[in-house]
Structure 1
Amino acid sequence: MRKSTRTLLAATLLLGAAAGPALTPAFAAPGPATAASQAPRTTSPDLSAVIAGLPRADATAALVRVGGTEGSWQGSSGVHDLETNAPADPAARFRAGSVTKVFTAATVLRLVTEGRIDLDRTARSYLPDLIPGRYATVTVRQLLNHTHGIPAADFEGESVEEWYANRFRVHTPEAMVRSATAKPREFRPGTRQHYLNIGYTVAGLIVERATGASYESQVERLVLRPLGLRDTYLPGTAAEMTGPYNHGYQTMRLDDGTTGLRDVSVWGTTDGWAAGDLVSTTADLERFTRELFAGRLVRGPLLEEMFTLPRVPDVKTGAPAAYSAGLSMKRLGGRAVWGKTGGRWGYNAAVASTRDGARTLVYSVNSTDAKGQDMNPTALGLMVAAYGLPD
């Protein structure tokens, strides 16, 4: 573990977060969603402590739901925006970032059930006009579990200020794939793992080619509509979220040359597309997580694809692979926790659960460092409070 991560964990403990097993009694009695600052009738002291005192330097708002057979808790803290300082809306929509990948993986696996996609078939066989010969052996399964060896696409800018200036630029998935596949492969497919967005960009295009319909319509048909996720959507080229949302802020250099917080709520997400453009709510993501883990969305052996880690090393660290099809796995508090985190400028989000659904966690944290090198302290505190310290 990096020293910086250890420091954040120590800070989390000072906030009152305890190891997972000690948290269980605090979850016993159910209660309605209530702002943490309003002393809810039913609460978890540890989770409340993590989100108390918002806004602060690292985050302006937080929305949290914990559920499962071990009990439930809901809380919110912070502000809707820094201009009015109105309380954060606990039902607000937010950008979920790479949590999108879980929805994409579930969509692909449901299309496998329909016989439209084959996990062992090559990406090039679906997209011969986009995937060149050097990537001829990459399979759909390898796209989903990040063992494909395709490098990242190139984007304009090298700093948050430059990216902000380009925030309305529209990126097409085809152009992103061409940018990535024009470069040499990072490794022979199936021999290493490198977590990147590009595999899911290719997977989204395969969904379109296999069905003759848009990626967005297939996610709607196969995931959103069956689960009744009415507040979840894929924004396409729209830069502003629809419906109520709490504003997101990012620390950056301002127009007067000083460093401060800029409202980054309105920002295009076409660079993420099938890998990272989802907008949702904590209620919808909690329902999605519960239904997915219970096997009511993806079933049987195909669901096991989401809980099977490839037996290859990480390309950077050499550690065992930590990503499956759509999910990742960490051992926290003595047990395996599966889920996915995501980040867009101004927003961090996560879904997580034990495999048996005993404890689920969903959060949205309006982080001021959402693309930082380390995990946001508030987000990290919530994960540790819900499950415990890394093993």
Structure 2
Amino acid sequence: MGESPHTVTSRIPRRAAVTMVTAALLAGVTAPGVAADTRAAGQDRPELRKATQAFVDAGFTGVQVRVNDERGEWVGSAGVRKLGSAAKPPADGRFWAGSNVKTFVATLVLQLVAEGGIGLDTPVADHLPEFGLDRRITVRMLLQHTSGLFNYTGGFGPDGKWVPGIPAAGKEWLDNRFRSYRPEELVRFALSKGPAFAPGANQDYSNTNYTLAMLLVEKVTGRSYAEEMKRRILRPLGLTGTVVPGHRTRLPGPHSHGYYRYQDATGRWKVVDISRQNLSLLAGAGDLVSTTRDLHRFFSALNGGRLLPSKLLTEMRTPHPKMGYGLGMFVQNLGPGCAPVVRHNGSPPHGYGALMYSSLDGRKTVTGAVTWVDEATRGPAKDFEKLADDLVKQVFCEGRTAG
């Protein structure tokens, strides 16, 4: 949903740690060791094996990682595909990629800018007058999260207090996870809450921005968002494992399973398989099925200059100072001795997370996916950012070895 598996509730009060029962459950289902495919590189990468296994050691049920760099391609997986099974996650299985789709949508919008169909600094209201948007909100502000539009999955109001949104977390989401939403419904709900701040005055991550960006693509092209995605990105790059699911709830092909754990009215703990979920809740903002191979191909092509003119790629990778977010991607400095990276991670509401990192020239990428047993505290997702940083530093930082 957001930029990482804990985005939805990262600023909502919650318990600080996973329960001992959950820890015991996870310990009982994770499998030691990493199944690594190093055919392309022709060599083992112990530092990558260790960084991959670290996700499982932290409580994630499964992880798959793909690294492409000057040493070739390394693919590994660890943990289990499904609770109660010893089978490891498929090395190139499908997964709910969540907010990784924001980079795809931003690319579509910027392609239309390059073609002259829209202007980056023109009012969104010129193209979508039906919503009565503040005319100060520009296309750039949508892609940069500076529009001030309330996040329909919940956000902070002008007074700094949390305002609930459409159920996207916890048991309430679990009970409604197959519900279908129309993108216009999501936008109108957000507008009913009023703005979080004046357009351009601040920056705050809001799914509403990208649902509007998706509708903008449809209005300007006269074709559906899914069709434009296929026509402009998926088919040209051969991304056969990637699809905009619409209202479909099943992951197609081999995949790992995500779970949600809760306490019922009698006090008993229950674990629900949430591999099926309806991502129309996050239209244009988190509704993508993909693979590590496809995320690599897309992000490498984008940063290698194959999808956008250099001027617009530069705009995309110029970060706003508050969040380090440009137009559809973050720009991150990993620290001393590390090359700068661009990234966008993601997660649907629960149980799945995705990684997408690249060097500025697109020649070096890290892509991956994780699954876990989610719950009110988000379980092991609290460790996601640190584990992801530790993994990517093995690739982008000179002299780094697994310690």
SS of the counterpart of 1:192?
coil
Taking the aligned partners of 1:56 and 1:257, their CA distance within structure 2 comes to 28
Q: Residue in 2 aligned with 1:382? A: 391
Q: Pick closer, same or farther for the CA change 1:80–1:270 going to 2, 3 Å.
A: same
Which among 203, 209, 223 is matched to residue 213 of structure 1? 223
Q: Residue in 2 aligned with 1:331? A: 333
SS of the counterpart of 2:116?
coil
Query: Structure 1 stretch 115-124 or stretch 42-51: which is displaced more?
Result: 42-51
SS of the counterpart of 2:331?
strand
- AA matched with 2:136: T
Q: What is the aligned-residue identity percentage? A: 36
Deviation at 1:71, TM superposition (A): 4.2
Deviation at 1:74, TM superposition (A): 1.6
Deviation at 1:181, TM superposition (A): 1.5
Query: Structure 1 stretch 379-388 or stretch 178-187: which is displaced more?
Result: 379-388
Deviation at 1:241, TM superposition (A): 1.3
Q: Pick closer, same or farther for the CA change 1:48–1:160 going to 2, 3 Å.
A: same
Q: Are 1:348 and 1:379, in contact at CA under 8 Å, matched by a contact in 2? A: no
The question of 1:190 aligning with 2:200 is answered yes
SS of the counterpart of 1:62?
strand
Deviation at 1:158, TM superposition (A): 7.5
Q: Residue in 2 aligned with 1:150? A: 149
Query: Structure 1 stretch 332-341 or stretch 374-383: which is displaced more?
Result: 374-383
Deviation at 1:328, TM superposition (A): 0.4
Taking only aligned residues, the RMSD between alpha carbons, in angstroms, comes to 2.7
Give 5+ residue unaligned stretches, structure 1.
9-34, 312-319
Deviation at 1:240, TM superposition (A): 1.1
Taking the aligned partners of 1:379 and 1:82, their CA distance within structure 2 comes to 23
Q: Pick closer, same or farther for the CA change 1:348–1:254 going to 2, 3 Å.
A: farther
Q: Over residues 24-54 of structure 1, what are the superposed CA-to-partner deviations in whole Å (9 max), with x where a residue is unaligned? A: xxxxxxxxxxx82469662322221133387
Which among 280, 283, 297 is matched to residue 287 of structure 1? 297
Q: Pick closer, same or farther for the CA change 1:291–1:157 going to 2, 3 Å.
A: closer
Q: Pick closer, same or farther for the CA change 1:76–1:379 going to 2, 3 Å.
A: same
Q: Residue in 1 aligned with 2:140? A: 141
Q: Are 2:37 and 2:76, in contact at CA under 8 Å, matched by a contact in 1? A: no
Give 5+ residue unaligned stretches, structure 2.
1-9, 11-15, 18-32, 154-164, 399-403
SS of the counterpart of 1:348?
strand
Q: Pick closer, same or farther for the CA change 1:45–1:369 going to 2, 3 Å.
A: farther
Taking the aligned partners of 1:379 and 1:367, their CA distance within structure 2 comes to 15
SS of the counterpart of 2:130?
coil
Deviation at 1:55, TM superposition (A): 5.2
Q: Residue in 2 aligned with 1:112? A: 113
Q: Are 1:365 and 1:378, in contact at CA under 8 Å, matched by a contact in 2? A: no
Taking the aligned partners of 2:207 and 2:383, their CA distance within structure 1 comes to 18
Which among 346, 349, 357 is matched to residue 354 of structure 2? 349
Taking the aligned partners of 1:265 and 1:381, their CA distance within structure 2 comes to 27
- Map residues 1-391 of structure 1 onto 2, 5 A cutoff: 36-37=34-35, 42-52=43-53, 58-69=59-70, 71-132=72-133, 135-153=134-152, 155-157=165-167, 159-253=169-263, 257-259=267-269, 261-311=271-321, 320-334=322-336, 335-344=339-348, 345-369=350-374, 372=378, 374-376=382-384, 378-387=387-396
Taking the aligned partners of 1:149 and 1:138, their CA distance within structure 2 comes to 8
Q: Are 1:200 and 1:274, in contact at CA under 8 Å, matched by a contact in 2? A: yes
Deviation at 1:380, TM superposition (A): 4.6
Q: Structure 1 length as normaliser, TM-score?
A: 0.82
